[in-house]
Chain A
Amino acid sequence: MSLLLIVLLGGLIFYMIKAGNSFVTIKITHWLLVVYTSVLVLSTIAVAVLTEETISQAKGGQEVHDEGLSSLYTNLSKGQIDKADEYLIKEIKFDNYQNQTLTITASPDYGSQVFVEKKQGEDSTVELFLYGNELTVDGYDFSNIIKLPDIELAGHTLSIVPIRQNIDLSIATNSYPIRQFTGEFIQNHYFSSGESFIYLRVPRDLELNAENVYLEVVDK
């Protein structure tokens, strides 16, 4: 459809020039118009090719995301991780953990919640699940550009190292004549981002220590 409009525009200009040409010779204004519209047409084609993939529209608005985050917290605190699959970002297994203690450490200002579930049976595997709320801007999902924290198990220390990120986004929106009828707003932006939770499944006799994390033992 855009191409059709472009062809129509080109035709209109061509016709105008041709019509004008019957009175006078082509002057620089005609060329200025032709060059300008050509640049606009080329830009239109280039935009389709060069800009990022169309970002997906996340479900719902601010309230839906807040509710989702709240229910995620509730489900994790009750150990109902089967209900939290939607927010699962990463799953890591540390097999055959033989130490008697596990120290979970993070950067002082990380401040994230770590839920711990002690396994019922004999199992020496430490399982880690990283859950998170996606990054959305005005309901559009930009989660793919968020860098996940580095999680390492060295000896008896599980360290969580979040990565500082300054994200600069440029978003091309519809013009006002379109927004007037689609109901989009150029003001009142809303974000949802950044909340992440770690859920650990550890052997039942493991002694846990926490440094700079809020540890919450799940009582199933």
Chain B
Amino acid sequence: MSLTTTSLAETVKKQYFYKLKANIDSFSSLVGIQILAILFSLGGISSSGMGGSFVNVNVKYYSPDLVLVFTLIWSFITAVTITTRPYRNHDFSFVTSRLSSSLSNILFLVTASVLGSVTALLSGNLLQMISYLILNEQLYNIGSGAEHMVLGFVVAFLYLMLIGACGYLIGSLIQVSKLFVLLFPILFIGLLFLEGVVTNGFIVSNVYKFYAMESVLFLFVGKTVLTAVALFIAAISILNRLEVRR
């Protein structure tokens, strides 16, 4: 019996810093995946043109959209990974509870999302520099100013948190039963097929519209934050039901 008592906040803090160190390699993969996305984006994310008798115009558009998509995938995989048993066993280095473990995991995902969103959006500048210096292209920047950059970071962060929360819940469910490893891909691919059959879209397109087509910032923040919180609470509840250590 230990006479030492530690507060939940203290435990979470210790576990959070430990997880930053233990999961540092996930940030290496973030760098790798973003560099890969930058390479894929070098051809431009879209192009258009116009032709006349004497003037032909070809326009190539650059944007860090693909980098953000790759970062979202990274966020999802990272969130699933930290729910796996080897990662959960790290927690037993400390006096721990399921709640403190989950809270430190969420804090880790918040940090990962901050880093992911900032680097993803700044990678657009690296993309521009490569096209300007290496590809020798005449580059025009029609991007907005600093105020929109802040908006971009906030929105990208919320997307990453939302996807991270989805990954964390799915990872938690997989810990309950390995059947979910099969069930989720089947469900996802099945839904994609249904999207092609149903005229007005099914779940995937409606979910996409619900978040990605929302043009009112206040509503978007509300939707993403509430969904992420709900998903995290569901994941915490599921992980609390797991045995202490198997």
Contacts and interface: CB of A to CB of B under 8 A. Distances in A.
Co-complex (A, B): yes
Interface of A: 1-2, 5, 9, 12-13, 16, 19-20, 22-24, 27, 29-30, 32-33, 36-37, 39-41, 43-44, 46-47, 50-52, 54-55, 109-111, 135, 137-138, 140, 142, 146, 162-178, 180-183, 186-187, 189, 191, 193-194
Contacts of A165: 54-56
B149 A1 contact: yes
Interface string B113-124: 011001111111
Interface in B129-181: 129, 131-133, 137-144, 146-156, 159
Contact of B132 (A30, A50, A186, A194): A50
Interface of B: 17-18, 20-21, 24-25, 27-28, 31, 34-35, 44-46, 48, 50, 52-65, 68, 111, 114-115, 118-129, 131-133, 137-144, 146-156, 159, 212-215, 217, 220
A189 B59 contact: yes
A194 B55 contact: yes
Q: Chain B CB within 10 Å — which of A1, A181, A186 has the most? A: A181
Nearest to B120: A175
Which residue among A22, A46, A170, A186 has the maximum number of chain B CB atoms within 10 Å of its CB? A170
B132 A51 contact: yes
B21 A24 contact: yes
A201 B18 CA distance: 83
Contacts of A183: 215
Nearest to B157: A177
Contacts of A166: 56, 58
**Residue among B56, B143, B146, B155 with the most chain A CB within 10 A?**
B143
A37 B114 CA distance: 13
Given A181-B217, A186-B45, A193 B52 contact: yes
B153 A5 contact: yes
**Top 5 closest pairs, chain A to chain B, by CB:** A1-B146, A177-B155, A43-B125, A40-B122, A191-B50
A165 B115 CA distance: 44
B141 A54 contact: yes
Contacts of A171: 59-62, 139-142
A41 B143 CA distance: 17
A37 B35 CA distance: 12
Interface core residue of A2, A47, A164, A187 (most chain B CB under 10 Å): A47
A5 B149 contact: yes
A52 B139 CA distance: 6
A203 B101 CA distance: 91
B57 A135 contact: yes
B21 A39 contact: no
Most buried by A among B34, B58, B132: B132
Contacts of A172: 61-63, 124, 127-128, 139-143
B62 A169 contact: no
A194 B150 contact: no
A30 B24 contact: yes
Contacts of B133: 50
A55 to B, nearest CB: 5
